[in-house]
Amino acid sequence: MSYTLPASAQTVQINGAGATFPYPIYSKWFDEYHKAHPNAEINYQSIGSGGGIRQLSAGTVFFGPSDGPMTNEQILAAGFRVMHLPTVLGGVVPVYNVAGLSTQLKFTGPVLADIFLGKITKWNDARLVQESPRDLRRSRILADFIKWALTDGQKFTTTLGYAPLPKEVVALELEALKRVKQ
């Protein structure tokens, strides 16, 4: 649906502020829309979801995009009708820089959720710690044995009626063994 302002109409400016994530696509959309509708100017400040919600609620902007919907309390506090309209989807990728970390961190779904929910706030949280065996000597020997069984030991599987593991599975298991502190 296209809305066309009469040629004699005065320029209308709409101010918005909010989420940084959609800023690149919003910038493109607002620019392209303005080319097709010269009398409409949309100004957007990429200040973060929380800032957008605060400015929308205060009435200093006309729209306030956020990465997540406002809570019922935020909507009630605004004192006017708030509409939530999803505009774009994209992936969020965790990025980290931990001094002294020599291996890649692997996050489970629940751990990532707890990080984003603010339940995990430190890199030494027990749910993130890469496993620390109780008996380091035995752990090293067992890890070495498992590596051998996954590689050189696989040649003995067929002579005893077993099937060797697929190379992709072996690679995944060898990667998992790197998490055992040695």
Whole-model pTM?
0.54
**Which of 52, 55, 57 has the alpha carbon at shortest distance from 26?**
52
Q: What residues have CB less than 8 Å from 131, skipping those under 6 apart?
A: 179, 180, 181
| Domains of the chain and CATH, by start | 12-78 (3.40.190.10), 93-130 (no CATH), 136-177 (no CATH)
Q: What is the residue-level pLDDT of the chain in tens, covering all 182 positions?
A: 666 656 556 999 999 999 999 999 999 999 999 999 999 999 999 999 999 999 999 999 999 999 888 999 999 999 998 888 888 877 777 777 777 766 667 678 888 888 888 898 887 777 776 655 566 677 778 788 889 989 999 999 888 888 989 999 899 888 878 776 55
> What six digits make up the tokens of 96?
């980290």
Q: What residues have CB less than 8 Å from 133, skipping those under 6 apart?
A: 139, 180, 181
Q: Please name every residue paired with 45 in a beta bridge, in sequence order, or none if there are none.
A: 17
Q: What residues have CB less than 8 Å from 37, skipping those under 6 apart?
A: 3, 4, 5
Q: What residues have CB less than 8 Å from 136, skipping those under 6 apart?
A: 181, 182
Tokens 């006309």 locate to 62
Using the Cα atoms of residue 50, residue 65, residue 79 and residue 14 in order, give the sign of their dihedral: positive
> What six digits make up the tokens of 84?
């939530």
**57 near 78, Cβ under 8 Å?**
yes
